[in-house]
Structure 1
Amino acid sequence: MIKNVLVIGGAGKSGRRVVEKLKSDEINVYSTVRDLKNVTADELLFSWEDTNNWPAVLQGQDAVFIVHPDTSTPEAQDQIKALAGYAKNAAVKKLVLLSGRGQESVLACEDVIQNSGLRWTIVRSAWFNQNFTEGHFSYGIQNGEVVFMADTAKEPFVDLDDLSDVVVACLLHKKHDGEIYEVTGDELFTFKEAVSMIAEQMNKLVEYRAVSGDVYFDLLVQHGLPADVAKHLVFAFSEILDGRNQTIGDGVQRVLERTPKKFTFFVQKNFTLA
C-alpha cells in the first residue's frame, strides 16, 4: 500500500499537478523545495547538489516521483544513482522517473532506475502542451513571435493533465511496475502548425521562426544563460528535434484506458480571442 509519496520537483509544471492529484486521493504527499522560504508542513528542503539531508527527506516515503532538472546532463546519472541508493536504504518501495523521448543521453538515468533494486516505472514524455502557456514559448506567444530550433519535425504534444494522471497511476498501482510508457498526444504537429493554431484561436498575429542551433545558442546567451548551459540545451534540443520523435506513443491508452486530450481542446481552453 502506497500512502506516503515524495515528489522531487513538486513546484514544476508536471510535479505541481501530480501533487494536487495525489492530495485528492488522500495520499500523504510531500514536495521538495530548494530553499527554506515559506516552507509549509508538506514541503521538504532538497538539493541535487547536497546529499546531507537526503536520508531525512526519504525516511518514511513509500514512493518517489523523480523530476530531475535535466536527465540528459552528464551529472544526472550520478545524482539519480545516489538518490536511488539512499531511497533503497530508506526502505522506499517505488520509484517513478520522468524521462525524455528519443534521447540516448537519458538512457543511463533510466538504467539506474531499472537496476535500483526497487519497484520502478519510467514515463517518457513528449513536449508539454503547457509549454505554450507556462514554459518555453509563452512569452513569444504573447509578444507575437516564437523562435525555436524546430523546423519541419512533428511532435505529438501531450497535455500535462494526461501526463500527471499517468504518473499518479504509476506511483500507486503495482500493475505498472517494470513498465516504460511513452506518453504523448495522438496527433502530430510541427511547432509552426501549433503556433498557427494558437494564433488563429487568439485572432492575433503570432509568427513562428525556425533558427539554427548556432543562432539559438546566441539568443540564449543574450537572454542571460551561461554559455555552457546554452550549449547543452542546444545539444539536447538537436537530439530530439531531428524527426526521431515523429511517432505517437500509447502510454495514455495503456495506463488510463482512454485517448489523450486533443491539442485543439487545449488551444480552445487556454487561449481567448484578442
Structure 2
Amino acid sequence: MIGGTGKTGRRVAERLAALGIPTRIGSRAGEPPFDWQIKSTWSAVLENAEAVYLTYHPDLAMPGAADDIASFAELALQHDVRRLVLLSGRGEEGALVSEQALRNSGADWTILRASWFNQNFSESFLLDSVLGGTIALPVEDAREPFIDADDIADVAVAALTENGHIGQLYELTGPRALTFAEATEEIAQASGREIHYVPISVEQFRSGLEQENLSAEFTNLLLELFTKVLDGRNSHLNDGVKRALGREPRDFRDFARDTAATGIWDRGEPNG
C-alpha cells in the first residue's frame, strides 16, 4: 500500500488488518521505506504482494506523476502484482493523464476518482482554520459533493479484495453538493462554535501560501485546485459509492456531527 499513512491509506490499512489480510505500508517513514522520487525504493514494497493501493504524493496532477505511475505499474507487473487500485482527483486534468497511464499499463486496474474529502476540515489542511473560527478560500458559490474518506477506504478495500472491480472507474461523491459556506455552517452547528466562511481573492490566497514558504510547484498546484477544479465543474453527484458497495455514501452532516463528538474542533490545540 503506497501512502498508507495518509487520510485514505491509513483507513484502508486498518480495514485490511481487521480482515486479517497482511499489509505492507509504503511511505518514507515505513519499513521498507518508499519514496516516489527515489525509484530504488519501489521494488521492496512489491515483494510477495498481491495487490497495491496507490496514492501519489503530493498530488496525481503534479508534473511527472503519470510517468511515475506508468513506471510503477510496469515494475509491479514484473513482480507479478497485477491488481492496482489508484486514488485520483475529480476534475483534475493532470490526474486524467496519470489515470490513462495506468489504463495503458496492462495491469488489472481500478480507479477511484474522488471529490474533495470531508476530512480536509478535520485532518490537517483546514483544521487550523476551523479552530481559528475563520475558513478563508478563493471559492464563492461553487458547490462540491464532499466525500468521506471512510467511504473511499471502503471502496478501495472492496477493489483490492473482491471480484468485479477490475477495469472499473468509480467517481466517488457524497450525496449532497454544498458550498464551502454551507459546509462551514454545518461544522459550526455540529460543534456549537462560531465559525465563518470568508471568500477571498486569488491574490490574497497566493499571498497566504507564499507566507507559508511552500515550494513554487506546490503553491501553483493549490492555486490551480482552487481556481479551476473548485470552479463548479464537480458540482454534480455521481453513484460510484453505490455501484461499488451497494449503499449510499455518508452525508456531510453525519460527518460533522460525529467529528464534533470527538472534540477535534474544540477551541485550542487539536486532539489526537
Query: TM-score band, normalised by the shorter chain?
Result: over 0.9
TM-score, normalization: structure 2?
Answer: 0.92
Tell me the distance in 1 between the aligned counterparts of 2:45 and 2:157: 20
1:50 & 1:234 partners in 2: Cα distance? Answer: 27
**Residues 150-182 of structure 1, C-alpha deviations (whole Å, 9 max, x = no match):** 211101111111110000001112300001001
2:55 partner letter:
V
Residue identity opposite 1:203 in structure 2: G
Q: Which residue of 1 aligns with 2:183?
A: 194
Aligned residue number for residue 24 of structure 1: 18
| Distance (whole Å) between structure 1 residues aligned to residue 64 and residue 40 of structure 2 | 18
For 1:21, the aligned partner's letter is R
CA distance in 2, matches of 1:50, 1:271: 39
- Distance in 2 between the 1:176 and 1:262 partners? 24
For 1:15, the aligned partner's letter is G
- Once residues 152 and 40 of structure 2 are traced to their aligned partners in structure 1, the CA distance between those partners, rounded to angstroms, is 31
Tell me which residue corresponds to 1:86: 75
| Aligned mate of 1:180, from 166, 169, 174 | 169
Question: Is 2:148 the counterpart of 1:159?
Answer: yes
Amino acid at match of 1:22: L
Contact 2:32 2:45 survives alignment (8 Å): yes
Q: Which amino acid aligns with 2:225?
A: A
Q: Which residue of 1 aligns with 2:51?
A: 63
Matched, 1:168 2:157: yes
**CA distance in structure 2 between the partners assigned to 1:210 and 1:64 by the alignment:** 39
**2:38 matched residue in structure 1:** 50
Q: Distance in 2 between matches of 1:95 and 1:150?
A: 34
Distance across 2 between alignment mates of 1:110 and 1:9: 17
1:228 to 217, 224, 231: 217
Distance 1:96 1:228 in 2: 26
Q: Is the 8 A contact 1:68 1:76 kept in 2?
A: yes
| Residue type at the aligned position of 1:26 | G
For residues 119-164 of structure 1, give each alpha carbon's deviation from its aligned partner in whole angstroms, at most 9, with x where no partner exists: 0000001111111110321111111111112211101111111110
Q: Is the 8 A contact 1:96 1:123 kept in 2?
A: yes
Indicate whether 1:138 and 2:132 are aligned: no
The separation in 2 between residues aligned to 1:44 and 1:150, in whole angstroms, is 40
Indicate conservation of the 8 Å contact 1:184/1:251, yes or no: yes
Matched, 1:98 2:87: yes
State the partner residue of 2:5.
Answer: 11
- What is the CA–CA distance in structure 2 between the aligned matches of 1:217 and 1:140, rounded to whole Å? 16
Shift of 1:201: 2.1
Deviation of the 1:80 alpha carbon = 1.0
Q: Give distance in 2, aligned partners of 1:227 and 1:55.
A: 30
**Is residue 72–residue 236 contact of structure 1 (8 Å, CA) maintained in 2?**
no
Which residue matches 1:76?
A: 65
CA distance in 2, matches of 1:121, 1:25: 20
Deviations for 1:74-128, whole angstroms, at most 9, x for unmatched residues? 1111111111111111110201000011111111100111111110000001111
3-state DSSP class of the match of 2:25? strand
The alignment yields a C-alpha RMSD, in angstroms, of 1.4
**SS of the residue 2:197 aligns to:** strand
d(CA) in 2 for partners of 1:228, 1:110: 21
CA contact (8 A) 2:24 2:45 kept: no
Off by >4 Å, runs of 4+ in structure 1: none
Distance 2:27 2:94 in 1: 26
1:124, 1:181 within 8 Å by CA — same for their partners in 2?
A: yes
Partner SS, residue 164 of structure 2: helix
Q: CA deviation at 1:226?
A: 2.3
TM-score normalised per structure 1: 0.92
Q: Percent identity?
A: 39
